Amino acid sequence: MDIVNATGIHYPYVMKIAARLKKAGLLNVVLGRCGGYTLGKPAEKISVYDVFVCVEGELRIKDSLQSGHLPNGEQNDGDLESFLCDLQDKMIAELSEISIADLM
């Protein structure tokens, strides 16, 4: 309940996220009266991107452009796709560089 109180996120959603993080090995469940969660590996070894992927799935800006058309029906000229691919790669690289320990 501490997480719920600290974040204001509804309990069912916290439990859903915790289950995903546990499945990925990022969290351990401690059972019992004083139970809770511990990190599944050192905070230095868990990147922000690891957490992002567990909660949101792979970061893919480009997927919506693979048809060659933009969502509003305009033709994709390639420059935009190249820009978005570069942006996606940079975002993934940047989020992968930041560890949970860096945030603490």
| Higher local confidence (pLDDT), 54 or 78 | 54
The tally of domains found in the chain comes to 2
- pLDDT at residue 39 tops 50: yes
Check if the beta carbon of residue 43 is closer than 8 Å to that of residue 99.
yes
pLDDT at position 37 is 87
Pair (102, 69) in one structural domain:
yes
Pair (36, 9) in one structural domain:
yes
Expressed as residue numbers, the domain containing 18 is 1-40
pTM for this prediction: 0.74
Contacts of 20 (CB under 8 A, 6+ apart): 54, 55
Beta bridge partner(s), residue 37: 29
Kindly list the distances between the CA atom of residue 17 and the CA atoms of 52, 62, 88, in Å, as whole numbers in the listed order.
10, 25, 23
- Tens digit of pLDDT for each residue in 15-33? 999 999 999 999 998 888 8
Q: How many residues does the chain have?
A: 104
Pair (23, 67) in one structural domain:
no
Pair (18, 67) in one structural domain:
no
What's the whole-number average pLDDT of the chain?
84
Radius of gyration of the chain (CA): 18
Pair (46, 90) in one structural domain:
yes
Pair (36, 71) in one structural domain:
no
